[in-house]
Amino acid sequence: MNDIDLKTRYLGLELPHPVMASASPLTGSVEGICRLADAGAAAVVMASIHEEQIVAAELAELALREADGGAHPEANTGYFPAALSDRSVLDERLETLHRAAQRCGIPVIASLNGVSPAGWTGFARQLEQAGAAAIELNVFRIPANLSEDGAQVDRECVDTLRAVKACVRIPVSVKLAPYHSSTGHFALQLMEAGADGLALFNRFYEPGIDLATLEPQLDFDLSTPADTRLGLAWISLLHGHMGGASLAATSGVWSGEDVVRYLLAGADAVMSTSALLRYGPGHVGALVQGLRDWMARHGDDSVAALRGRLAASHRDGDPGAFLRANYRNILALAKRHVWPVASNPGSSPAP
Ligand SMILES: Cc1cc2nc3c(=O)[nH]c(=O)nc-3n(C[C@H](O)[C@H](O)[C@H](O)COP(=O)(O)O)c2cc1C
């Protein structure tokens, strides 16, 4: 079948197909973004701008200038640290965004990881001015205050979204953590507060403990296709309930079949990072071709017709009961499974 229509819309952007690159070191430079564009990515999310990192860099520069014996008196005249340097870290990131948006020929979505209310809104305005097609809010906040309840955590995020929406005109999405106590309710609150889309789910990296140094062990693993499961469940539940807001899947996309699964669950766009880090930007082409091949084999002629076909929200009856039944069925299967016993590793680490 030649006429397969892969077109989709995400955050109001018309995309030729649903495969995007999510935020990572691959999307941190103009060259990296253009490589992904040349490989056929429909859009990219640029590596996050982290408010704390920007402010720390600016403060370090301020300290340097003060140590310079006041040779640069202008350094002390402004309040906002970004005004201090001729070419601050922030300037560089904004310039990367600007040049990538101009040169690479695909929508470049800026990702913002803020901390303070002024940081979220101030940086968002600058990202819009630099040419971002949209902004993805990368909300990473561990509720380490043990007296804070889930509703407070959700409310703060919704308030942040509202504040950002009030100061930019481009679409704004939220990249969700998988840890909210009622993900569906939270998603609907974000939608009602004006989110143009949600990306499910971010993958956070918690440190281990390095037994040699007794310090945090700062390494990380790439995802595997098994990491699609939680996103599939929630996208499948949210599909059809998001008003005009779109849904992107991010986690565990290694093959065209993973893309298909997320589309069947109800995603409008599907993002990948780990597989692109592992196989290089050219792997975007394999993801798109894998999607096209699967559709051809199954006689599907458009992504629009595929999207949400297997969404739990479309099923008759209680979708919660459907998901619980799946859980019980998997456990029943695991019970019947014959587990081959591996040789005991003793005290050495498990492979
Ligand atoms: C090395 C690395 C850097 C990342 N940097 C960011 C980032 O700056 N902002 C962000 O929102 N997500 C970041 N992510 C998360 C990815 O965008 C993506 O959501 C996550 O890896 C799950 O997708 P995957 O299974 O395709 O890897 C990063 C992931 C990796 C592996």
Q: Which secondary-structure segment (H or E) carries 281?
A: none
Say which amino acid occupies 112. Answer: L
Residues of the chain with pLDDT > 90: what percent?
Answer: 69
23 CA → ligand 1 middle, Å: 5
* pLDDT tens, N- to C-terminus, the chain (351 residues): 568 999 999 999 999 999 999 999 999 999 999 999 999 999 999 999 998 888 887 778 778 777 766 555 444 444 444 444 456 889 999 999 999 999 999 999 999 999 899 989 999 999 999 999 999 999 988 888 899 999 999 999 999 999 999 999 999 999 999 989 899 999 999 999 999 999 999 988 888 999 999 999 988 889 999 999 999 999 999 999 999 999 999 999 999 999 999 999 999 999 999 999 999 999 999 999 999 999 999 999 999 999 999 998 777 788 888 888 888 999 998 888 888 888 887 777 666
Same domain? For 289 and 336 the reply is no
Classify residue 2: in a domain, yes or no.
no
Classify residue 345: in a domain, yes or no.
no
CA 262 – CA 219 distance, rounded (Å): 28
Classify residue 1: in a domain, yes or no.
no
CA 28 – CA 25 distance, rounded (Å): 5
Which ligand 1 atom sits nearest the alpha carbon of residue 254?
26
The boundaries of the domain holding residue 284 are 8-309
CA gyration radius, the chain: 22
**What is the pLDDT, as a whole number, of residue 82?**
45
Same domain? For 199 and 58 the reply is yes
Say which amino acid occupies 282. Answer: G
Classify residue 346: in a domain, yes or no.
no
Same domain? For 273 and 326 the reply is no
Classify residue 351: in a domain, yes or no.
no
Per-residue DSSP letters for 304-343? HHHTTTT-GGGSSS-HHHHHHHHHHHHHHHHHHS--PPPP
Which ligand 1 atom sits nearest the alpha carbon of residue 199?
19
Give the domain CATH number at 234.
Answer: 3.20.20.70
Classify residue 22: in a domain, yes or no.
yes
Which of 202, 273, 276, 277 best tests ligand 1's pocket when mutated (most atoms within 8 Å of CB)?
A: 273
In sequence order, what E strands does 91-133 have? Answer: 108-113
How many domains is the chain built from?
Answer: 2
Classify residue 101: in a domain, yes or no.
yes
Task: Output the residue whose Cα is nearest ligand 1's atom 28.
Answer: 24
CA 88 – CA 296 distance, rounded (Å): 50
Same domain? For 65 and 138 the reply is yes
**What is the pLDDT, as a whole number, of residue 76?**
44
Same domain? For 290 and 325 the reply is no
Same domain? For 26 and 91 the reply is yes
Which structure tokens are listed for 340?
Answer: 């081959």
By three-state DSSP, how is residue 115 classified? coil
Classify residue 113: in a domain, yes or no.
yes
Same domain? For 180 and 323 the reply is no
Are β-strands 208-210 and 215-217 bridged in parallel, bridged antiparallel, or unpaired? antiparallel
200 neighbors 179 (Cβ within 8 angstroms): no
The model's pTM is 0.90
Same domain? For 217 and 328 the reply is no
Which structure tokens are listed for 29?
Answer: 């430079």
Angle, in degrees to the nearest 10, between helices 117-129 and 51-67:
90
63 CA → ligand 1 middle, Å: 32
Same domain? For 266 and 125 the reply is yes
Which of 44, 203, 277 best tests ligand 1's pocket when mutated (most atoms within 8 Å of CB)?
A: 203
Same domain? For 268 and 333 the reply is no
321 neighbors 275 (Cβ within 8 angstroms): no
Same domain? For 37 and 84 the reply is yes
In sequence order, what E strands does 23-167 have? Answer: 44-45, 49-50, 108-113, 134-138
CA 162 – CA 196 distance, rounded (Å): 11
**What is the pLDDT, as a whole number, of residue 219?**
86
**What is the pLDDT, as a whole number, of residue 314?**
75
Give residue-wise pLDDT tens across range 317-346.
888 888 888 889 999 988 888 888 888 877
**What is the pLDDT, as a whole number, of residue 349?**
66
Same domain? For 246 and 140 the reply is yes
Rounded (10°) CA dihedral 143, 149, 151, 153: -10
